[in-house]
């Protein structure tokens, strides 16, 4: 089920819907928790840098202790099933609800808005500042953290100050985003649901890729910020998503995940599509009014598109639906 597209004259605006994750992937599917350990021994799962080892036991069949490797390469042993989980990343919060661990979530950030249940959950900080006292009050036993600024020292300090297991989930590529579904599920006590979600996302990406295979690849520019102008490049999951959608990113030769970019280069390379995020407060009309932009092919052909960056720019379960919407916009005949 997808949200209908609205026409905003003189440009189209797409709301990249989130029915695949807790409204799409989030609220629509409540994947049941299931056992991952063997009653007679131990099992090991390894996925794209995240390894999970489970011993037999656990009240619901999920064996403990669980050994995982987080995004920093830290080997973490979770001795028992977590009861009070806090998340410092909205994308991880969405994943927790999608894999069926939502009832365990006791703390989220002020930036969390999805699914709607997070409105009633205690706030433990903003994107980077953690309220340690609040975490202690909530008796947090598992804390998910993210962000490039989170180092091993930061994670270990948080463990000491909160008495919680700290798992850093900071995927950079699209493949790492998908693999993080199992990592989060396993850490939260929902290993089977995490694996099922990962498999579903991989299947969805394969379906999109197959649909656009052989189609012409229109050039595209994705605007992350306007001042200074910033975009996405190789090493970022949004860039990977654009490629899956059958587009050619004009910033592919920057060899940076999130490079600054000049308006002059945008004008010179003249993308056929220009993508902006809905949350940044810039409209397609604003883009068209910039100096030199009125002659862009994307502007002339009504291809300045506002996308739901809460789905596209956050490394959570809704990202595949966002990629599908972009693919459908650029290759409507393929779907």
Domains for the chain: give ranges and CATH numbers.
6-22+216-334 (3.40.50.1980), 32-189 (3.40.50.1980)
Is the pLDDT score of 277 beyond 90? yes
Burial zone of 56 (CB within 10 Å; 0-12 exposed, 13-18 middle, 19+ buried) = middle
81 and 59 Cβ atoms separated by less than 8 Å? yes
CA distance 312 to 94: 13
Contact status, residue 162 vs residue 136, Cβ threshold 8 Å: yes
How many CA atoms within 13 Å lie on the side-chain side of 87?
28
pLDDT at residue 142 greater than cutoff 80:
yes
Q: How confident is the model at residue 52 (pLDDT cuts 50, 70, 90)?
A: low
The lowest-confidence range among 14-23, 59-68, 102-111 is 14-23
Which has the minimum average pLDDT: 54-58, 163-167, 291-295?
A: 54-58
pLDDT confidence bin for 279, thresholds 50/70/90:
confident
CA separation for the pair 241, 235 (Å, rounded) = 11
Helix, strand, or coil (residue 157): helix
The pLDDT assigned to 108 comes to 98
Place of tokens 């090493």: 235
Q: What is the mean pLDDT of residues 48-56?
A: 44
pTM: 0.82
Distance between first and last Cα of the chain: 15
Is 42 or 329 the better-scoring residue by pLDDT?
A: 329
Q: What is the CA radius of gyration of the chain?
A: 21
Q: Residue 304 and residue 120: Cα distance in Å, rounded? A: 36
What pLDDT sits at residue 5? 32
**251-260 per-position pLDDT tens digit:** 999 999 999 9
Q: Is the pLDDT of residue 47 over 90?
A: no
Q: Which two tokens stand for residue 108?
A: 């989220």
Written as six digits, the tokens of 200 are: 């579903």
Mean pLDDT, the chain, whole residue set: 85
In percent, the amount of the chain with pLDDT more than 70 equals 81
Buried b (16+ CB within 10 A) or exposed e, 230-269: bbbbbebbbbbbbbbbbbebbbeebebbbbebeeeebeee
Among candidates 289, 263, 284, which has minimal Cα distance to 273?
284
| pLDDT tens-digit map of 148-180 | 888 999 999 999 999 999 999 999 999 999 999
Pairing of strands 219-223, 248-249: parallel
> What pLDDT shows up at residue 147?
83
Residue-level pLDDT at 176: 98
List CB contacts of 12: < 8 A, sequence separation 6 or more: 5, 284, 302, 303, 304, 305, 329
Residue 1 pLDDT:
32
Q: Higher-confidence residue: 115 or 46? A: 115
Stretch 212-231: mean pLDDT, rounded?
A: 97
What is the pLDDT, as a whole number, of residue 211?
98
């Amino acid at each position: 089920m997808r949200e209908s597209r609205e026409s905003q004259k003189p440009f189209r605006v797409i709301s990249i819907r989130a029915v695949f994750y807790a409204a799409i992937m989030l609220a629509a599917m409540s994947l049941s928790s299931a056992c991952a350990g063997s009653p007679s021994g131990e099992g090991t799962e390894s996925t794209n840098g995240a390894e999970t080892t489970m011993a037999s036991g656990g009240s619901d069949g999920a064996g403990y202790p669980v050994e995982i490797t987080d995004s920093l390469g830290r080997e973490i042993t979770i001795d028992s099933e977590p009861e009070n989980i806090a998340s410092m990343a909205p994308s991880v919060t969405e994943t927790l609800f999608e894999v069926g661990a939502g009832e365990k979530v006791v703390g989220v950030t002020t930036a969390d808005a999805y699914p709607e249940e997070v409105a009633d959950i205690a706030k433990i900080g903003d994107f980077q500042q953690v309220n340690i006292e609040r975490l202690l009050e909530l008796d947090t036993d598992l804390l998910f953290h993210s962000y490039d600024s989170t180092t091993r020292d930061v994670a270990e300090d948080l463990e000491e100050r909160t008495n919680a297991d700290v798992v850093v989930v900071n995927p950079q590529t699209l493949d790492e985003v998908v693999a993080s579904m199992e990592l989060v599920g396993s850490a939260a006590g929902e290993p089977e649901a995490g694996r099922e979600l990962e498999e579903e996302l991989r299947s969805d990406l394969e379906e999109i890729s197959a649909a656009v295979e052989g189609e012409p690849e229109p050039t595209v520019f994705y605007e992350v910020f306007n001042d200074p102008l910033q975009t996405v490049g190789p090493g970022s999951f949004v860039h990977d998503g654009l490629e899956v959608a059958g587009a050619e990113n004009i910033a592919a030769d920057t060899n940076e995940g999130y490079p600054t970019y000049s308006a002059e280069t945008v004008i010179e390379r003249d993308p056929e599509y220009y993508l902006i995020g809905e949350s940044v407060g810039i409209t397609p009309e604003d883009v068209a009014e910039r100096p030199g932009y009125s002659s862009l092919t994307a502007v002339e052909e009504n291809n300045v598109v506002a996308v739901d960056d809460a789905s596209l720019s956050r490394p959570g379960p809704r990202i595949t639906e966002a990629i599908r919407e972009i693919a459908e916009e650029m290759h409507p005949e393929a779907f």
